């Protein structure tokens, strides 16, 4: 922990003054009288994204069906356009990235492509802390093969319900494991798994391995070329601020371009023969061959804009601020909130911590409701975690300071007691 921090408001002002990214927040729509700490669930809208979206809308209004041929067929090849901006964030080649579908549909696509069980090598290895949709997709694909998830899905269990032991994952890479799907950053505890170590272990055992980057992309630095994983999936509406339900991403290692996609569709066909409308699929031999249907232009356009911000700044600078501002938040929790039942539930090591802080309290749910009424937007995860995400691009140090002051007030005055523990539809 940085011992140079202190608990004064003046210190927070000084940190903002020294922050080289502080003015980037002007490119986002910061709401008055609100402190947004939920960018790990849905990132704020940016002005760059708005411009790109409105431009695409204008082209559609003006051109109609001709939209596919204007600007050198930009929108027809929109996935490739955006992939070229997305690839640097994960250390991939642009041709290995396709902007398509959702996280879950992309897991289905990847598993249907890479999961080829045999009598002796048929299991899929997962952990018990990943976001549930990953497991739903895994179980579904196993059933599609006529297998039983109870026998086929091998689960590495957490000893404490918060963190996963990487050595336990490696120990579970037995001869009967055919494929592994793991999160890069655990959505609840913000633990960062060692992708390079685990991928290398999988390759040594001839196991296909894929990664869920949903809570990692836009928050931490990655190099998929160095890691050499087989595939990866991610959403684009969290740290990337692509908009509610924005089109997701899929990485296919170029060494697999000769494989046919498990779920084929006409937009994965070679450009040269796509409009010949043949009934025989001709796979485009790069990641774009894993597209299925026509690209969702208005769901993709905000990404074109906001990725300009990421590429102007670079992930190294973004990660540096994220590490520093989350360390500052943890320091304030330790110093100002520990007497009121609050504690930090994530790892302290910068290399093992993603982009959010897990604030643990027995009354976490009701405190999260009180925070919202005080103008702070967090999120809650069962059973006792408030996730606080100070986003490098638009959260100020003064806002972090204010959040801690509000948390202190809520606990001191027992303001949470006026709220029900009954869970809402979206928590």
**Residue ranges for the binding site for pyridoxal 5'-phosphate?**
103-104, 131-134, 212, 215, 237, 266, 294
Q: How far is CA 141 from CA 136, 152, 209, 263, in A?
A: 9, 11, 16, 12
User: Helix/strand/coil (H, E, C) string of 77-98?
Assistant: CHHHHHHHHHHHHHCCCHHHEE
376 touches 406 (CB < 8 A): yes
Whole-number Å distance between alpha carbons of 235 and 113: 19
Measured CA to CA, the distance from residue 233 to residue 215 in angstroms comes to 11
- How, if at all, do strands 123-127 and 153-156 pair? parallel
- Burial of 205-227, coded b for 16+ CB within 10 Å and e otherwise, reads eebbbbbbbbbbbbbbebebeeb
What DSSP element (H or E) covers 105?
helix 103-114
**260: CB partners within 8 A, 6+ apart:** 113, 281, 283
Burial of 7 (0-12, 13-18, 19+ CB in 10 A): middle
The strand pairing partners of 177, in sequence order, are 123
User: How many Cα atoms occupy the beta-carbon half-sphere of 75 within 13 Å?
Assistant: 24
How far apart CA 139 and CA 37 sit, in angstroms, is 33
Closest CA to 47 of 330, 360, 412, 393: 393
Name every residue whose Cβ is closer than 8 Å to that of residue 359 and which is 6 or more positions away in sequence: 333, 342, 343, 344, 345, 378, 385, 386, 387, 388, 407
Polymer length in residues for the chain: 427
Binding-site members are 103-104, 131-134, 212, 215, 237, 266, 294
Residue 11's nearest CA partner among 203, 167, 295, 2 is 2
Determine phi and psi for 237, rounding to 5 degrees. Answer: -100, -5
CB under 8 Å to 171, separation ≥6 — which residues? none
């Amino acid at each position: 922990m940085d011992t140079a921090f202190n608990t004064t408001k003046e210190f927070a002002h000084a940190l903002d003054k020294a922050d080289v990214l502080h003015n980037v927040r002007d490119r986002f729509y910061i709401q008055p009288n609100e402190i947004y700490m939920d960018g790990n669930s849905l990132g704020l809208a940016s002005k760059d994204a708005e411009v790109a979206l409105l431009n695409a809308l204008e082209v559609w209004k003006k051109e109609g069906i001709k939209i596919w041929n204007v600007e050198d067929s930009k929108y027809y090849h929109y996935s490739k356009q955006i992939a070229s901006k997305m690839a640097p964030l994960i250390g991939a080649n642009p041709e290995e990235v396709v902007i398509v579908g959702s996280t879950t549909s992309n897991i289905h696509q990847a598993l249907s492509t890479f999961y080829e069980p045999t009598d002796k090598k048929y299991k899929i290895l997962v952990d018990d802390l990943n976001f549930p949709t990953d497991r739903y997709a895994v179980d579904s694909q196993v059933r599609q093969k006529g297998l039983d998830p109870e026998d086929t899905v091998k689960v590495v269990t957490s000893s404490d319900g918060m963190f996963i032991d990487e050595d336990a994952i490696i120990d579970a890479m037995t001869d009967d494991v055919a494929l592994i799907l793991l999160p890069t950053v655990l959505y609840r505890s913000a633990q960062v798994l060692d992708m390079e170590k685990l991928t290398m272990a999988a390759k040594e055992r001839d196991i296909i391995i894929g990664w869920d980057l949903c809570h990692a992309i836009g928050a931490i630095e990655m190099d998929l070329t160095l890691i050499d994983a087989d595939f990866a999936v991610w959403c684009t509406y969290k740290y990337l601020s692509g908009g509610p339900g924005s089109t997701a991403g899929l990485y296919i290692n170029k060494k697999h371009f000769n494989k046919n996609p498990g779920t084929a569709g006409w937009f994965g066909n070679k450009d040269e023969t796509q409009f010949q409308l043949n009934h025989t699929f001709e796979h485009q031999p790069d990641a774009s061959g894993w597209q299925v249907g026509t690209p969702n232009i208005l769901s993709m356009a905000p990404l074109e804009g906001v990725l300009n911000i990421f590429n102007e700044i670079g992930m190294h600078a973004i990660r540096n601020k994220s590490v520093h501002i989350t360390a500052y938040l943890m320091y304030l929790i330790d110093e100002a909130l520990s007497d009121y039942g609050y504690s930090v539930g994530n790892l302290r090591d910068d290399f093992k911590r993603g982009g959010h802080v897990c604030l643990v309290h027995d009354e976490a749910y009701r405190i999260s409701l009180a925070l919202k009424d005080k103008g702070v937007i967090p999120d809650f995860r069962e059973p006792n975690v408030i996730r606080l995400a100070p986003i490098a691009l638009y959260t100020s140090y003064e806002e972090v300071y204010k959040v801690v002051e509000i948390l202190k007030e809520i606990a001191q005055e027992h303001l949470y007691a006026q709220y029900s523990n009954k869970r809402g539809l979206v928590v």
